[in-house]
Amino acid sequence: MPKPSHREKILQEGLKVVHAHGFANASVRDIVQAAGVPQGSFTNHFASKEAFGLEVIDLYFAAAEKTISATLRNDALPPLQRLRAYIDAGKEQLNCDSMRAGCLLGNFAAEASQHSEAIRQRLLQIFAEVRASIAYCLKAAVEAGEIAPSSDCDEIAAFVVSSLQGANLMAKTERSPLPVERLKDVLFNVLIPRIGQPRASASALSGRMR
């Protein structure tokens, strides 16, 4: 089996350094030391730290895409089971280090998107891909009769992505999976059962208040 190249070592080990310490706090020296390669190797393979950051994001998302394929886009499973499995998989990934590092994508969004337009645009593309996969799953749930036909799957998917990122951030802050578990509980036990139900008319609400 061929040994990993310096480029592969820098990306693999650099991802760990960036995830643990943040993109701004991860110096090139820290990255090459973790990879066990000469510092000149970094500039040989990456035009800038921003270019390195973009590749780290893609490497991280490549693993996330495998989870998406096994859950949200796995047509062999019932749709809402897929969504539960996706959320659980993300929670387990975060819990690998007791929630200390958080979601790398969310970390980049909070830290680097203001200073790098290229990183911001790549994150937007990735979050759009995740939204599309959740919407795909929810549309399957409509077809399976698990949620109402009137459900706006694209809007619900956007809500889930935003809520998950917020829950991930709180889980990192609290160093606890409870924020993600709370989101999952509200989503499946409160919001989803109400999805697609017609809104009560103003006159009906007025009658109830009398």
- Residue 108: partners with Cβ closer than 8 Å, 6 or more residues away: 23, 53, 57, 119, 123
| CATH superfamily placement of domain 1-46 | Homeodomain-like (1.10.10.60)
Which pair of tokens denotes residue 166? 């917020």
pLDDT of 3 > 80? The answer is no
Q: What is the pLDDT of residue 97?
A: 78
d(CA 85, CA 88): 5
Span 51-85, pLDDT tens digits: 999 999 999 999 999 999 999 999 999 999 999 99
Do residues 105 and 18 touch, judged by C-beta distance below 8 A? no
Query: What superfamily does domain 50-196 belong to in CATH?
Result: Tetracycline Repressor, domain 2 (1.10.357.10)
Span 9-15, average pLDDT: 96
Model-level pTM? 0.88
Radius of gyration of the chain (CA): 21
Nearest Cα to Cα of residue 173 among 92, 61, 91, 98: 98
Contacts (Cβ under 8 Å, ≥6 apart) of 166: 179
Q: Is the pLDDT of residue 108 over 60?
A: yes
Least confident of 6-20, 123-137, 188-202: 188-202
Q: What is the pLDDT of residue 115?
A: 87
- Mean pLDDT, rounded, of the chain: 90
What's the confidence (pLDDT) of residue 161? 97
Q: CA separation (Å) from 12 to 2, 80, 99, 102?
A: 16, 33, 20, 17
Closest residue by Cα to residue 12 from 25, 91, 45: 45
Of the candidates 133, 54, 125, 26, the residue with the CA atom closest to the CA atom of residue 90: 133
Q: Domain ranges for the chain, please list them.
A: 1-46, 50-196
